[in-house]
Structure 1
């Protein structure tokens, strides 16, 4: 038996302080107490969000930009802005 193993039945009783600092989790994810929704890390909302569109491009254009690596879609956006002079 592992010498660091502790029998869960030997755990001390919870105090009021334990309950006060406890966090509810479901499947290892912390659930917000007030809203009952999943907490999600991430970026704050953008001041100037991008607009999602569907655009058909020539295969060579897509392959060429993809070949430039990560961020290729942002580079397409930059090139379009440059073409429009903005």
Structure 2
């Protein structure tokens, strides 16, 4: 017959208090191509009105202007431009995939 430990409670606590190796942090999710991030941006009222007066898509137009400026400054590579879903066709298919 097996002997009981002298203090069963202490034996149980020792099992549950044993150090466990720390789990590695989950990998950062990869950003999808053409992914966008929501930000808060302070823009002059006149500049905002200029883009909003063009109707829907004013945020995309601001993004286009900022992207082109960054490329002109050498800050962005020649990454492909995202095509809106409603304009997808075989004509603008880059053949990747």
Using the size of structure 2 for normalisation, the TM-score is 0.39
Q: Which has the higher strand share?
A: 1
Q: Which has the higher helix share?
A: 2
- Structure (1 or 2) with the larger CA radius of gyration: 2
| Higher RCO (CA 8 Å, separation ≥ 6 residues) | 2
